[in-house]
Amino acid sequence: MSHPGAPASTGRFLTKLTVIATLGGLLFGYDTGVISGALLYMKDDLALSAFGEATVVSSLLFPGAAFGALFGGRVADRIGRKRTLLVCAGLFLLGAIGCALAPNVQIMVAARIVLGLGVGAAAVTCPLYLAEMAPADRRGRMVTINELMIVTGQMLAFATNALLDHLVHDPHVWRTMLAVAAVPAIALLLGMLILPDSPRWYALKGRLPEARKVLSLSRTPAEADTEYAIVAEHAGHMLKSTSTPFSVIRDVPWIRRVVLIGCGLAIVQQATGINTVNYYAPTILEQSGLGVSAALVATIAVGVTSVVTTIIGIILLGFVGRRMMLLIGFAGVAASQAALAAVFLMPASDVRSYTILGCMVLFVAFVQMFIGTCVWLLLSEIFPLSVRGFAMGIAVFVLWCTNAIISFLFPLLNNALGSTGTFALFVVVNIGSWIFVHRLVPETKGTTLEELEERLEAEGMTPERTPA
């Protein structure tokens, strides 16, 4: 983590901070991934109907994560990033225990909603906290480690499910699968107790000595002095304002524009169709002619691809601008989905099944390497300090709602249009997303959050936007 010229202690502090804060991402991934395996056993144990099954899966996303994101942003602005992550850890712990002990479907759904509130609030607060703590040159990599922890959490969930399934021959094994999530929740709770809040939040609250102290933990003395001056001056303007975040977004055109771009980024990230693969890969592969066991094993290939390509994406972010990453990503996604749509037209055979798997892996690789990491990073960077938590909450709320709508519509589209028609539709959507990024998304690499805010304000004040 540390770079040449920085004392080892600052590198150690940033590494410790990144590991602890991104446990929120790990829990986000585990809790969204574990249900796929647990459902196989839970169905009989809790006598779930098809509707009950859908409710158990989706209640974490909506209302849970959607409202967790909406309110988590407000809470993070009010009580701080650190305390909000402590609240998230408490929700994760409560939800994991509730799910593991649930005697019936009603309590299971209630516990899944509690987990969802934690997932949604952590999805906003973790990237926000990391972006505000990181030096400008390291922000990209620190924030995107959260995305890596999300996909690692999902892969961990698949692996834990397979391991417990193999070792524990008991119809109640699903309770253990869900209880495992309590371990990282306790680690997040204890870890956050020893970390400070972000210097930007301290400054926003007029607590400048604490902001100065935190900067000195993670910067060289010269860097800390320079950044403190910028942060303090910037916060000074904010403290004079008595407006609420909502009225600021409503009344200030350039801020409203940035919030709309953030919501657009949230929509295009989900509109890649990535979660159709996450949720329905075994079904798609089984329909293509693979057996159930082969389809489950093949799904692990998708999980491994996610982790490996996310790591490559994090490395690339050190060298490539955010806009270029997104433009490459959407072009690659559209191309791999066009190939997928074409392969479904081939006559059924093993070659066809494995070609479909190959196209799916390629599609996942483009999303995770270029788009997934970049969108979360941009959402943590582009919003101005005065509305940052609130605005990110709105964008992540939009992201979860889009996720829920697409996950709900995918099986219906697949029945109506067939696999070829469905993926052809996704190609058109992703070409639209490429145009959106090309025309509207700003470049954020290599500047402090304060400099970026000033630049976006200057660009927003002029009729035409200078290309980044």
Note the pLDDT tens digit of each residue in 266-278: 999 998 888 777 6
Among 3.40.80.10, 3.40.50.300, 3.30.565.10, 1.20.1250.20, name the CATH number for the domain at 241-468.
1.20.1250.20
| pLDDT one-digit tens code per residue, 427-436 | 999 999 999 9
Residue 291 or residue 173, greater confidence:
173
Task: Give the pair of three-digit tokens for residue 214.
Answer: 């935190």
Percent of the chain with pLDDT over 70: 90
pLDDT of residue 282: 64
- pLDDT at residue number 341: 86
Question: Could you tell me which residue, 204 or 83, shows the higher pLDDT?
Answer: 83
Boundaries of CATH 1.20.1250.20 in the chain? 1-195, 241-468
Topology of the domain comprising 1-195: Growth Hormone; Chain: A; (1.20.1250)
d(CA 292, CA 238): 57
Average pLDDT over residues 184-191: 91
What confidence score (pLDDT) does residue 468 get? 38
pLDDT in tens, 36-52: 777 777 777 777 777 77
At residue 344, does pLDDT exceed 60?
Answer: yes
Reply yes or no on whether the pLDDT at 288 is more than 80.
no
Mean pLDDT for all residues in the chain: 83
Q: What is the mean pLDDT of residues 250-263?
A: 87
| pLDDT of 5 strictly over 50 | no
Give the separation between CA 94 and CA 90, rounded to whole angstroms.
Answer: 6
So what's the pLDDT on residue 3? Answer: 46
Task: Determine the pLDDT at residue 2.
Answer: 41
Average pLDDT, stretch 20-48? 81
At residue 465 the predicted structure's pLDDT band, cuts being 50, 70 and 90, is very low
Which one, of 99, 235, 271, 115, lies nearest residue 185 by Cα?
A: 115
Average pLDDT of the segment spanning 375-387: 85
Provide the pLDDT for residue 467: 40
Give the range with max mean pLDDT: 211-225, 315-329, 349-363.
315-329
What is the predicted pLDDT for the residue at 266? Answer: 92
Does residue 462 have a pLDDT over 50? no
Token pair listed for 83: 């305390």
Average pLDDT over every residue of 340-364: 84
Q: How confident is the model at residue 64 (pLDDT cuts 50, 70, 90)?
A: confident
pLDDT at 294 exceeding the cut of 70: no
Rounded to whole angstroms, how far apart are CA atoms 57 and 105?
Answer: 11
**For residues 343-362, average pLDDT:** 83
The model's pLDDT over 390-424, given as tens digits with 9 standing for 90+, comes to: 888 999 899 888 887 887 777 788 778 877 888 89
More confident of the two residues 300 and 282:
300
pLDDT tens, 65-77? 889 988 888 899 8
- What pLDDT does 295 receive? 64
Position 186 scores a pLDDT of 92
Q: Is the pLDDT of residue 459 over 90?
A: no
